[in-house]
Chain A
């Protein structure tokens, strides 16, 4: 026994155990890579090689074209959290010149006393996205449409950079003691409403969500109502419509006044 080499083809134990192990491996591979994938009709495999590749997890781009195209313009902005976050002095300077034509409604310091949105201190990505959506028609406004139509992509970036650079100015209705409504802090989980603050900056900021502090209550309310009714549809993949639709008129009123009173 001891003079017989253990790992040798002449040792029947060795031959049989290696053979059986290899057979199990081959059979399992055939079952897992070929038989099981082909047994799933919904995978619509092109053949044995396709079955092996898909079972092995070779990634491929989903190439399905949309069968139903939108009958309205949707936003074409590619939003990322890094977008327009680098401060560029040249861009701010150009933006300051370009922004003179915005001052009639949005105020010379980016703070409006009509119900146009305040732009001072707004995230640059937000101002840029809205301008772009006005230009493409994804957001409809008889006032803003023609202004945006005349702007180049760089113009929009510059104006956005300029307004982001201006300091935020609290509104006349500033009241930091005002208690935050539940929908701002905790949302209404039972009604599919996340907290406003989880995107709009009080708790966390989601790319493309505007800073709302000091914004006119009339404006906030009008926008929430427009999202809820579907009159405004430039929120990418319905991210705001999904929420506004679930809010009660009282909640809309509460958040509008709450944010107006914030710095």
Chain B
């Protein structure tokens, strides 16, 4: 009889422990999913929302990446779209001009091999992959200059490949955009 009581007691303890560990694991999984969701919403880091393709060989023939369409564009809703390409061994435009405190979307792609796209002093750090459009939202807090180096080895001239991002005052940008539809700061 004594062994029977021991047995049911042991079973109850095992079940309790089992339940606690199961609850703990579920809470951990829930927390991780919640963290991913929180980070996703607050745009700290996020994979691209959409996969768009563009033929690297014909970027210069038609579509949004032709030479005359590259640079910063003021949209009707006040946001800014910047279009750029990376190629061996430069970015076009070489100098990107954007307003501070404005929602900005970068749309960029590569005309040949994989290039890097990094804006120093921000969390922008992605790749330009031939065949795909890299689109990412950015917001610059204050005017200033940032370097934009290619951070993905792209060939023997890689070290010479970088661009500049010039963040200027919102009002100054609006004045420039009124005079010209695609802005760059290439001198």
Interface centre among B58, B60, B94 (most CB of A within 10 A): B60
B63 CB, min distance to chain A CBs, angstroms? 6
Say yes or no: A62 contacts B63, CB within 8 Å: yes
Q: Select B29's contact among A24, A66, A194, beta carbons within 8 Å.
A: A24
B residues 62-102 touching A (CB-CB < 8 Å): 62-70, 73, 79, 85, 87-94
With contacts A187-B160, A194-B89, A237-B111 taken as known, whether A36 is within 8 angstroms of B68 at the C-beta atoms is no
Say yes or no: B37 contacts A31, CB within 8 Å: yes
Say yes or no: A192 contacts B160, CB within 8 Å: yes
What are the 4 A-B residue pairs with the smallest beta carbon separation, nearest first?
Answer: A194-B157, A194-B160, A198-B157, A194-B89
What are 9 inter-chain pairs, A to B, with CB distance below 8 A?
Answer: A42-B49, A42-B103, A43-B50, A55-B49, A66-B62, A66-B63, A70-B68, A76-B60, A194-B158
Number of interface residues of B (CB under 8 A): 62
B31 CB, min distance to chain A CBs, angstroms? 11
Q: Select A66's contact among B49, B51, B68, B103, beta carbons within 8 Å.
A: B68
Number of interface residues of A (CB under 8 A): 60
B13 CB, min distance to chain A CBs, angstroms? 14
Q: Select B33's contact among A16, A31, A37, A66, beta carbons within 8 Å.
A: A31
Q: Does A216 contact B (CB under 8 A)?
A: no
Say yes or no: A74 contacts B66, CB within 8 Å: yes
Say yes or no: A188 contacts B68, CB within 8 Å: no
Say yes or no: A59 contacts B90, CB within 8 Å: no
Q: Mark A192-207, 1 if CB is under 8 A from B, else 0.
A: 1111011100011010
Contacts of A35 on B, CB cut-off 8 Å?
37
Q: Select B156's contact among A198, A242, A243, beta carbons within 8 Å.
A: A198
Say yes or no: B63 contacts A192, CB within 8 Å: no
A137 CB, min distance to chain B CBs, angstroms? 15
A residues 35-72 touching B (CB-CB < 8 Å): 35-37, 39-40, 42-43, 54-55, 57-71
Q: Does A239 contact B (CB under 8 A)?
A: yes
Nearest-neighbor residue (CB-CB) of B88 within chain A = A206
Say yes or no: B90 contacts A242, CB within 8 Å: yes
B41 CB, min distance to chain A CBs, angstroms? 5
A86 to B73, CA, bound (A): 43
A17 to B18, CA, bound (A): 11
Say yes or no: A54 contacts B50, CB within 8 Å: yes
Q: Mark B37-54, 1 if CB is under 8 A from A, else 0.
A: 100110000000111111
A77 to B22, CA, bound (A): 63
A79 to B30, CA, bound (A): 51
Contacts of A150 on B, CB cut-off 8 Å?
none
A75 to B67, CA, bound (A): 10
Q: Select A68's contact among B54, B163, B181, beta carbons within 8 Å.
A: B181
